[in-house]
Amino acid sequence: MSLNSFFENLDSDVKFDVWKNSMTKKLYSLKDSIPLDEKEVLIYIEETINLIENLTYLSNAYAAHYPDNTNKKLIIERLKKCNSFYVKFGKQ
């Protein structure tokens, strides 16, 4: 069995959990690379971590009836900003 077919056979909630764990690990790693005097940046990253850790998987049927993507848009914006922190501080 190839790795691709393995992941294709996973349930959506399992894929979501893998994504969530991956994102939080990356954000914790980013947080560790930020200088301590950058308190606002550290707080922003911590808030993003908390937001992602508190997410729960919603089935496609639920999402079809409640198509508000507010959380998704917020997470995308926050991850883009966190990526900008990585670009700024990750190369030091």
pLDDT digits 0-9 by tens, 44-76? 999 999 999 988 776 565 555 555 566 778 888
Residue range of the domain that includes 56: 12-89
pLDDT digits 0-9 by tens, 10-24? 677 788 888 889 999
Residue 77 included in any domain? yes
Residue 46 included in any domain? yes
Q: What pTM does this model have?
A: 0.76
Furthest CA-CA distance within the chain: 49
pLDDT above 50: residue 1: no
* Nearest by Cα to 63 from 72, 53, 76, 50: 72
Overall size of the chain counted in residues: 92
Number of structural domains the chain divides into: 1
Residue 2 included in any domain? no
